[in-house]
Structure formats: structure tokens, C-alpha cells
Amino acid sequence: MVNLTAKQQRFVQEVVLDYYTESMEFEKTLKQYSIYKKWAEIVRLIPSSRSESIIHSFGSLPGLQRTKGSVPMTDLAEKDIKIKNDDFKRGIPINVNDVDDNETLNSNDIAASLAEAAKQWAPELIIELILNGETEKSYDGEYFFGNNHNLENGTYDNLLSGNLSMDTFKNAIAEMMLFPTDIGKKKGIEPTHLIVGPLNLAPALEICKSVIIPEANKSFNNIYQGYCEPIVVPEMGTSLDWILVSAVGNSKSKKAPFIMQIRKDPKLIVDYKDFDEKDQVYFYVKARGERSYFDPRRAIKYKSV
């Protein structure tokens, strides 16, 4: 950029000052809100230092064997999950005339708007996993929510049917606990979260939070109070489908059905590439990462009937 007019020089100076102000405001706003928030509870967060990562998923071992001789050895079944990072961006254009006419958005407003977009980055990717599980495949080559997931010693299904009720909730818990390990034993997985759409929020809260469950002529103590944490997903719309999830452990080694890989956290950037031709700059947010499915046995989806 050479031979700038006085108007353009003023614009550059003001934008640069705004950029530093907005950067500080952006970071401040973003820190006030964890971009993973409740979603961190049901995903395994994977840090990344390259364009593609390979997550090794190892199978189960038999229990200890009584022996006075040599140590019994068993090869671990290994499944690789490849996750290739991608770029994610969202921006706001600012024109030189807006600055000259004192019509530029307040710096804090720009920062708040972009920080709001940044906040939604990881949650939106995780919601995609929840919504697309019947059409995207897991590491075993089957749809994540589907039938006939293959193991060396059999198969299992994690796509079933039934409306959300106390009875189907009880059955779903048992179904998850009876999922087999790679060597055919019962895995004993216990659910931790119940994912529902807005129309299923009331029964989900009743099942997960109520002390007493009323019935026609009597009521009874809810032995499942606090057993699972409900999560409502507005993007599920009017669907009455529901999902039981198991996610245990800390974030980086969590046993969970979903993975969120982070290469670069959201960052505020200013871009002058179209300044000479269009008299404008762009403020935008850029993040890098990707989401993926993990163990299908840690999620069961029930289709409403």
C-alpha cells in the first residue's frame, strides 16, 4: 500500500488502534466463557500439533489368570482413528467511508460479535456429531448410530427404538451395560448423560432430577435421580429421539463417544488484502481443528415411535 490519501492514512491508523483494542476485548470476552462449556463433559479433547493426528484405540484384555508358570500374553486389538484438521473462519468487513463518517461499529461491539461466533465453534462441531450419527461412520466402518457393529466375537446395535420414559430409560441403561468388549465379555458401561431435544426436556428432567415419580394412583421414589445429567440440544428441533451417553475420566484421556481435536484455538485477525481495491479491511476469527467419533458403545440412540 503506497501513496495513501489522507483519508486512507487516517483509516489505517484508526483500524490498527481498533485492532489492538478489539484483540484485548476479544480475549477478555472469550475467557469469560469456556468454548466447550457443558460439551466438554461428553467429548474427549485432543490437542494437536500437526495437520493430521492418529488416535490409537486399543481393545480389551482378559482378566488376570491364575498361574505359577509363564505370563499369559494377549495381543491388543488396535483401531486407528485418523483426524485431519481443517480451518474455520468468520469475519466482519469495515469500510474506509464508515470510519471517515464516524459510522464504524464500536470496537467492543465488533469484538463481542466475533467472540460470540468463536464461542460456538466447538459446540457446533459437537452438535454435528450428535445430529449426523446415523449418516457418518465410526472407526469400524459402520454408521456411528447403527446396527451390526462388528467385533471379533460378535456384533452389537446402538440404534434402537422407543420413546423416552422411565421404562425405556431403565432398559437403555441395561442395554449399554451389556455391550460386549472386543473379547466378548460384558463391558459394564454406565451412562452419564441423557441428550434430548426441547420436546423431551420435561421427561428428561423428571427422570434425571425428580425425587418422586407420580403415577395414576400412586407415586414412587426415583432411584435414578442424579444418575445421568440431561443435556438439551435445540438443534434437534421437534424430534423425540434421545441419546444415552457414557463419558468418564479427565478431558485428555476421557472414555467418550465423541472427539474434539484442537489444533489452534480461535484467534482474532485483521486482513488488509482488499484495502487498495475496495477501501476496506476484514476483522475475522480463525480456528483450526476437527471433530470425530470414538467408541460407539458409549452412546445409544433411541428413535421415537
Higher pLDDT, 78 or 269: 269
- Cα 285 versus chain centre, distance: 19
Of the listed ranges 11-15, 79-83, 146-150, 297-301, the one predicted with least confidence = 11-15
Q: Which residues, 6 or more positions from 168, have their beta carbon under 8 angstroms from its beta carbon?
A: 162, 302
pLDDT digits (tens, 9 = 90+) for 92-149: 887 766 655 655 555 566 767 777 788 888 889 999 999 999 999 998 889 999 998 8
Beta pairing class for 299-303 and 242-245: antiparallel
At residue 282, φ and ψ (nearest 5 deg) are -120, 130
The fold for domain 15-53+79-303 equals phage-related protein like fold (3.90.1690)
Count other Cβ atoms within 10 Å, centred on residue 37.
Answer: 11
Instruction: Give helix 107-119 / helix 121-131 axis angle, nearest 10°.
Output: 30
Please, what is the end-to-end C-alpha distance for the chain in angstroms?
64
- What does DSSP say about strands 52-58 and 78-84: parallel, antiparallel, or unpaired? antiparallel
**pLDDT value of position 169:** 96
pTM as predicted: 0.80
Strands (E), the chain: 43-47, 52-58, 78-84, 86-95, 149-151, 154-156, 159-161, 193-196, 212-214, 219-221, 229-232, 242-245, 258-271, 280-293, 299-303
pLDDT, one tens digit per residue, over 156-194 is 899 999 999 999 999 999 999 998 876 666 778 999 999
* Cell numbers that stand for 279 in this block: 477501501
